[in-house]
Amino acid sequence: MTPEYFEDWSRRAADWGAAYRRSLRDKPVRPKVEPGEIYRAIPAAPPEHGQAMEEIFAEFETIIEPGMTHWQHPRFFAYFPANAAPVSVVAEYLVTAMAAQCMLWQTSPAATELETRMMEWLRDAVGLPAEFTGVIQDSASSATLAAVLVMREQALDWQGNAQGLAGQSPLRVYASDQVHTSIDRAIWVSGIGADNLVRIPTGGALRGMDPVALDAAIRADKAAGRTPAGVIACIGGTSVGACDDLSEVIAVAHNHGLYVHVDAAWAGAAMICPEHRHFWTGVEQADSVVFNPHKWLGASFDCSAHLIRDPDILVKTLAIQPEYLKTHGKDGIINYSEWSIPLGRRFRALKLWFLLRFHGLEGLRTMIRNHVSWSRGLCEKLRATPGFEIVTEPMLSLFSFRVDGGDARNIALVNAINDDGRIYLTQTLVDGRSAIRFQAGQFDMTEADADTAFDVITEIARSLP
């Protein structure tokens, strides 16, 4: 591809992206395709000779785009958001054009130093103390795995990487049943094993883990010859927004010398609003915290903020320094590949820099406050509608509801809503019964989109038998 051809197609791709964003409200949130339909439209073998960009792009528009779920759609109310604010998309284009490997300071000095500063900006924005430093991980899953590996190494007196787990007393990690499945995977991948993830009972309006039960479980494991390693606390659980009482949970854990990691993947972004910080009172005592700017702040995926009280123990757990990765003649530098599980690293800090400068913290606070307000407004409208029940009260912009008629009717309602295409919702289980989740968080959402959600939900519910 010549420079001129590259320039032309870069402009055409940018034009397509702008037109795509403008047209999203006119598209169904989920594609109306059948399994295998797109697969069958793609040739079984690659071409022997190169093809023209016009042909490739035409098939992108006719085969690929119509089969995409539109995560940037303003009426995407399922899961949690995976926002990509337009300014972040622009930054990502620059990152892709430079295509740098940012594993070491010397491989991209600006990327390393901007990442350091951006993590300081995020730390301060969410109200964490200055002793926290941070690294941008690809996802909360990787940050949690890194934290679990630190727990493992500390518990084994830093011998786990060398000796493995064979012959050791079982390591135990404690969490509630409201944590994300990424915690289960971290336990699997770390070699600790699913049987050693101890589920602590929950209670209260926010379904937080019982600190008395946590203390009892730790004591019971010690008495049985098992080795407690750490606690994973939850702020804004994926199902219905569960929150642990961090002050009490951390006090119990630290009394036993255990590392505490806080998973606030979704809800952590809302802590840029001081009025929401009561949800994680005590977080300043945690050993590490993760939240995802690629969820609610508008940084395009992937961009996970992993904030750590003592990075030395993270580096001690993860760093490998063969001769070819050493930076000679430089002192006091950070090589972020030593803070992460992958060696290769993208230039993720640039989109944060663009995003935070373009919108400012107050612009992002306004967006989050609107989402919380609009979600609560929808909750109250559904509460006042005959045939609807609010199952869990709003936690920030997330709540759950159900309609009369049992689990089958609620699942039928979710499926009918999603087949309709105007909005997108997901279901969950609350106390063993089906409920429907609603969360507001898409970057370009307006109050009218919340009104549309009410109209669609109630209209389709009335049409069900």
The average confidence (pLDDT) of the chain is 93
CATH code (residue 71): 1.20.1340.10
Give the CA count within 13 Å in the CB-facing half-sphere of 97: 13
Question: Do residues 31 and 149 both lie within one domain?
Answer: no
Residue 323 pLDDT exceeds 60: no
- Looking at the structure of the chain, the number of domains it has is 2
Pull the structure tokens for residue 353: 């820099």
Q: What is the pLDDT of residue 326?
A: 54
Q: Which of 83, 116, 145 is the last residue of a domain?
A: 83
Domain C-terminal end among 83, 117, 152: 83
Mark whether 313 and 175 lie in a shared domain: yes
pLDDT number for residue 72: 93
User: Which distant-in-sequence residues (6+ apart) come within 8 Å of 294 by Cβ?
Assistant: 82, 83, 84, 300, 301, 302, 303, 304
What pLDDT score does 325 carry?
52
Residue 150 shares a structural domain with residue 280: yes
pLDDT exceeds cutoff 70 at 47: yes
Domain limits for position 108: 101-346
Q: Is the pLDDT of residue 309 over 80?
A: yes
pLDDT band, residue 329 (cuts 50/70/90): very low
> Residue 328: what pLDDT?
42
Q: What is the pLDDT of residues 441-458, one digit of tens each?
A: 999 999 999 999 999 999
Asked if 382 and 401 touch (Cβ cutoff 8 Å), the reply is yes
Looking at the fold, whether 325 and 187 belong to one and the same domain comes out as yes
Q: Examine the pLDDT at 14 and tell me if it is beyond 90.
A: yes
Reply yes or no on whether the pLDDT at 296 is more than 80: yes
Is the residue at 295 inside a domain?
Answer: yes
Q: Which of 328, 346, 364 is at the close of a domain?
A: 346
Best CA proximity match to 230, nearest among 274, 183, 166: 183
Is 439 within a domain? no
Residue 129 is predicted with a pLDDT of: 96
Interval 358-371 mean pLDDT: 97
This prediction has a pTM of 0.91
Same domain, 170 and 299: yes
- Chain-centroid distance, C-alpha 353: 19
